[in-house]
Structure 1
Amino acid sequence: MKALCGFLTRWLLEILPGVFVGGPSARVRAALWEDVRRYAGMGCALLAYNPDNEQGFAFETHDHKWRPIDHEGVTLIHRPSDRVAAPSPSCEGWSKASKRRRFGSR
């Protein structure tokens, strides 16, 4: 990771540990992103940049839980839920009030 950080500081500023900002050309940005993806290993990476679109920015990710998705022309970040869905209990014959008390829903 240190080698990657040193490599990126040639073209970008490191404003926080592991956070790089800059305004390289599209060609340099694409080359940097390829190197980041190659050297990131088991780590994750997120690239945000300003293309020529109405939204004014775009995202690319590498091995990240958050994924950019297109929703009617607008790029959104899909964040998967960390909550584990509880199995729905089958409580036939119980009153609604009893079900609420037992399973904590109101």
Structure 2
Amino acid sequence: MANMVVIATAAVPEHVRGALTRWMIEPKAGLYVGTLSARVREELWDVVAASLGEGSAVCIHPTDTEQRFLVRTAGPQRREIMDYEGLQLIQMNPEEALTPDPTAGFLPEGW
């Protein structure tokens, strides 16, 4: 059975946007809404998550939990999904945590 799916994207390559618009409508830039089967949703999300480049994406779809929906993210996010006894909650991370350290992994410790 098909269910409503919402995917929001930011700074994704054009081919990702094209793949999403084949299955969903784009009522606002970067926001996609559609009624998809679970199989199509999973395949589409796998393509989006693997092709983000520097961008990010969030997928929200119905599921059989207390909240009646599931939130999934891909790419760098300031908001992190936390599981608290079966409930998905949002934790805000500091902005500097999203900025990669250009020297990380290049110099031995103690240099």
TM-score by length of 2: 0.68
What's the counterpart of residue 54 of structure 1?
66
Give 1:82 deviation, angstroms: 4.7
Structure 2 alignment gaps of length 5 or more: 1-12, 97-111
Query: Where is the strand percentage greater, Structure 1 or Structure 2?
Result: 2
Give 1:23 deviation, angstroms: 2.0
Aligned residues: 83
What's the counterpart of residue 67 of structure 1?
80
Structure of greater Rg: 1
What's the counterpart of residue 21 of structure 1?
33
Q: 2:31 corresponds to which letter in structure 1?
A: V
CA contact (8 A) 2:78 2:95 kept: no
Q: 1:76 corresponds to which letter in structure 2?
A: L
TM-score by length of 1: 0.71
CA distance in 2, matches of 1:6, 1:29: 15
Relative contact order (alpha carbons < 8 A, sep ≥ 6): 1 or 2 greater? Answer: 2
- Over the matched positions of the two proteins, sequence identity in percent amounts to 36
